[in-house]
Amino acid sequence: MAIQTCIKYFLMLLFIMLNSQTQTFAFVDDEGCLLCHKYPKMGRITEDGARRSYYVMPHVFGSTVHRNVPCKDCHSYIKELPHREVDTGVTCNSECHSVKNPATGKNFSHQVIYDKYIESAHGRKKKAEGHDKDKPYCVTCHTNPIYDPNEEDGPPPEITQRCVVCHEDEAFVNTWYKHTSRRIKEVKRSPKEVMELCSSCHGDKRLIDRHLDAAIEEGRELGEKYAHAAESYKQSFHGKVVKYGSKGAASCLDCHVDNNNYYLNVHDIRPSRDPLSSVHKDNVTFTCQRCHTHADDNYAQLDPHPTPTSESENNDFRYYANLIYGWIGDIVLVLLIGLATFETIGRRRDGIGWRLKKGSSWWRKSKRGRDRIK
Amino acid sequence: MKLSTEARKVLDSCMRMNKVSNAEREEIERVVDSMPDDRVLLYKNVVSNPIGDLPRYDIHVRLQHMLTFVTFLTLAFTGLPIAFLDHFWAEPLNNLVGGVDVSRIIHRTLASVMIFSMIYHLFYLFAISVKDILRGRFEVQRSLIPTFKDIRDFKDDMLYHAGQRSQRPEMDKFMYKQKIHYFAAAFGNLVMIISGSSFLFPEFWAAILPADSVSYFQEMMRLSHPHEALLALLVIAFWHWYNVHLAPGRFPMQWTFLTGKITREHQIEEHFLEYLRNLVEIPAEREYLLDIEDARELSGVYEDKYIDEKQGRNLDQGEQA
């Protein structure tokens, strides 16, 4: 019976696998870039000794969100083939000449969001020098996402049947439906993913130290929590439940982003000393109230980034309270275990056994005389 | 046996409270007289039933203990993996109870059961105290209220364990260890409830406390909850379980928490004053004691050197010489 069930499921699985062909989009190489970039060994070793691959996999790129953008729309510095050495590379605020913004009819561009980002604490140019180089550029957080094959089961016919009445091209309808519906869905990173993403820089001790030193040298101000933002968050209750995969607790972005328009303002994270920041002292109560509905100004005094107990700097109270608690615990334990041992020795000396045998535990011979009468 | 002044007072007041007849009073006095002066010989020679001979805890106390101990252990099991998440054992343990979203709900539910148990206990204490006071049977030394005698008992007991004294002190229903443990648990319970509530209702605590102290209070509570939990768990594991499971004579388990009864040898050894009350209240116990004394010829054991507790030290030194 069990074998039959196994075979049944195996055949079903095989059937599903054979039927589900991942739909790849035609990637038309009008510009002839693949003439060279189709070769897997296409690459070089940079002056720093890093190995760089310039291999483009057409079937993979054909499944990404940028599949309809011709290479030269982004790689606009390429004027002839074979091209010269690339200096700056792709910047995300360039205009796409081939894709129009359907609302304005102008060339499509990420300029609006780019301008927000440049103003934020994280803003940097593509070609950054010095400490700005540690800041994230667009591609640090945004990859060129590949469509999830699970999403590719075309749209429900009861919806598209209505569209094709006027928009006769079924392929266009399907694409448009996916384009829209995907943006209606929740596509935020989970709190845990946000924590990991932010920690990749804010939890990097060497990077943090570099910036702390630079700030002191240049006489710049840095946030009070800058030195241990990631570590202290992980020790807070938010961090703990997020680490365990809870979806309900606040991640970094839930407090540090103005939730007026999350998707826009997530690019505009500002330091707490900036009055526009959602964690500025004038705004922080409202920020707490997003989740803690009854929070008041007193509540906003609570520290969501408690300094790690291992460090005494900045938070003597927490450090010494923890130390004293530890000592009390140790002393109590030593005393109690000492008492128990002392008692055992004393009663054993007077002839008590561990177990009750024939109605008495005092069947051993006492060192002090007066044994149980047999 | 010639009773000490304290024991005599306990026996007399117990006989008065129980309104024993003159005939019965004589019988009790005869039994007390017949006991050997060396109390050690008494508890070494009686026969005890491992699951208990003499009444100690009624059903309410046993229920409260059961509720508290089951919730305490499961609270620790669901709470510690959250508090100590950096440790290697934390994540598997947390996944075992279904992840943090589940274990938090379990933790809070159990916490409310534990708080219920505390309220039950407080009501119970109030009820029995009022009942005893109204019937004129309330005795401070028989209750859990700490007295100066406990300090003296502690000192004497230490001397006995060190071999400097021939007898353990005559202790009442609750000895010094039990009082320490009771108040430690009560204090710990209070700390856990306050700190736990400051996680569950942080807005409430922030609203009622002065603005300057809010942050300190919360920090203190964040430290207190896991520290107190760990301390309580270790005290339970190393001390309470020693006292009721591992100590010689109690191994493998003292059945009192299930049967509500204490063994005879344990009662005489550690709660002698309560045993005197048992002799008054349980006629069968008097008969039993006379029988065993006859069978083992204990009544005849009468030596001057055991009469005065204070001479105990001289006795041991004399023996060694």
Q: How confident is the model at residue B307 (pLDDT cuts 50, 70, 90)?
A: very low
Interface contact flag, B100 A354, Cβ < 8 Å = no
Mutate to test the interface with A, among B94, B223, B255 (most CBs of A within 10 A): B223
Least confident span in A63-67, B119-123, B149-153, B160-164: A63-67
Q: How confident is the model at residue A25 (pLDDT cuts 50, 70, 90)?
A: very low
Which residues on B lie below 8 Å from A344 (Cβ)? Answer: 247-248
Average pLDDT, chain A: 86
pLDDT of A292 > 90? The answer is: yes
Q: A25 in the Ramachandran plot: left (φ > 0), alpha (ψ -120 to 50) or beta?
A: beta
Show the DSSP H helices in A38-147 as ranges: 58-61, 71-74, 111-119, 138-141
Question: In the numeric block, which tokens belong to residue A332?
Answer: 């109590």
Task: For residue A198, tell me if it sits in a domain.
Answer: yes
Interatomic CA distance for residues A364 and A367, integer angstroms: 9
* pLDDT at residue number A79: 86
Interface contact flag, B238 A359, Cβ < 8 Å = no
* pLDDT at residue number A13: 56
Residue whose C-alpha is closest to residue B93's, from B78, B75, B106, B111 = B78
* pLDDT at residue number A82: 85
Closest approach of A250 to chain B, Cα-based (Å): 14
Interatomic CA distance for residues A156 and A297, integer angstroms: 49
Interatomic CA distance for residues A94 and A111, integer angstroms: 7
pLDDT of A299 > 50? The answer is: yes
Task: For residue A205, tell me if it sits in a domain.
Answer: yes
CB B255 within 8 A of CB B102: no
Interface contact flag, A299 B242, Cβ < 8 Å = no
Task: For residue A249, tell me if it sits in a domain.
Answer: yes
Q: Which domain holds residue A285?
A: 193-308
What angle do the packed helices B211-235 and A316-349 form, to 10 degrees?
A: 20
- Domains identified in chain A, total number: 1
pLDDT of B133 > 60? The answer is: yes
Which residues on A lie below 8 Å from B85 (Cβ)? Answer: 240, 243-244
Name every residue whose Cβ is closer than 8 Å to that of residue A322 and which is 6 or more positions away in sequence. A309, B223, B227
Task: For residue A224, tell me if it sits in a domain.
Answer: yes
Q: How confident is the model at residue A157 (pLDDT cuts 50, 70, 90)?
A: confident
A275 SS3 class: coil
Give A78-96 pLDDT, tens digit per residue: 888 888 888 888 999 888 8
Which residues on B lie below 8 Å from A340 (Cβ)? Answer: 238-239, 242-243, 247
- B248 compared with A105, residue with greater pLDDT: B248
Task: For residue A246, tell me if it sits in a domain.
Answer: yes
Q: What is the mean pLDDT of residues B197-221?
A: 93
Residue whose C-alpha is closest to residue B285's, from B17, B49, B10, B21 = B49
* pLDDT at residue number A20: 45
Closest approach of A346 to chain B, Cα-based (Å): 4
Closest approach of B117 to chain A, Cα-based (Å): 26
Task: For residue A80, tell me if it sits in a domain.
Answer: no
Phi, psi (rounded to 5 degrees) for A354? -70, -45
Residue with tokens 């009942």: B131
Q: How confident is the model at residue A154 (pLDDT cuts 50, 70, 90)?
A: confident
Helices (H) and strands (E) in chain A, counts: 16, 4
Q: What is the mean pLDDT of residues B49-61?
A: 96
Query: What CA–CA distances, in Å, run from A272 to A225, A278, B45?
Result: 10, 7, 77
Q: How confident is the model at residue A317 (pLDDT cuts 50, 70, 90)?
A: confident
Closest approach of A242 to chain B, Cα-based (Å): 9
Query: What CA–CA distances, in Å, run from A329 to A121, A147, A340, B221, B290?
Result: 44, 55, 17, 16, 48
Which residues on A lie below 8 Å from B203 (Cβ)? Answer: 292-296, 299
* pLDDT at residue number B303: 47
Query: Who among B47, B158, B251 is closest to A355 (CB)?
Result: B251
Interface contact flag, A321 B99, Cβ < 8 Å = no
pLDDT of A313 > 90? The answer is: no
Greatest mean pLDDT among A16-20, A21-25, A351-355 lies in: A351-355
Task: For residue A210, tell me if it sits in a domain.
Answer: yes
pLDDT of A30 > 70? The answer is: yes
Interface contact flag, B298 A373, Cβ < 8 Å = yes
Give B76-99 pLDDT, tens digit per residue: 999 999 999 889 999 999 999 999
Percentage, residues of chain A above pLDDT 70: 89
Q: Which helix (H) or strand (E) holds B261?
A: strand B261-262
Interface contact flag, A301 B220, Cβ < 8 Å = no
Task: For residue A217, tell me if it sits in a domain.
Answer: yes
Apex B212 CA angle, B209 and B216, nearest 5: 80
pLDDT of A312 > 80? The answer is: no
Q: What is the mean pLDDT of residues A274-295?
A: 94
Which residues on B lie below 8 Å from A318 (Cβ)? Answer: 219, 223
pLDDT of A24 > 50? The answer is: no
Closest approach of B26 to chain A, Cα-based (Å): 28
Number of A to B CB contacts under 8 A, please give it. 164
- A349 compared with A184, residue with greater pLDDT: A349
pLDDT of A247 > 90? The answer is: no
- This model of the complex carries an ipTM of 0.88
Residue whose C-alpha is closest to residue B231's, from A249, A56, A245, A326 = A326
Residue whose C-alpha is closest to residue B268's, from B249, B251, B253 = B249
Q: How confident is the model at residue B314 (pLDDT cuts 50, 70, 90)?
A: very low
Q: B163 in the Ramachandran plot: left (φ > 0), alpha (ψ -120 to 50) or beta?
A: left
Which residues on B lie below 8 Å from A241 (Cβ)? Answer: 82, 100-101, 104
* pLDDT at residue number A3: 66
pLDDT of A9 > 80? The answer is: no
Interface contact flag, B203 A294, Cβ < 8 Å = yes
Task: Kindly write down the DSSP assignment for every residue of A144-170, as one continuous string.
Answer: -PBPPGGGGS---HHHHHHHTTTS--H
Residue whose C-alpha is closest to residue B27's, from B41, B42, B11, B38 = B11
Residue B303, number of CB atoms within 10 A of its CB:
10
Q: Which helix (H) or strand (E) holds A313?
A: none
What pTM does this model have?
0.82
Residue with tokens 């008494």: B42
Percentage, residues of chain B above pLDDT 70: 93
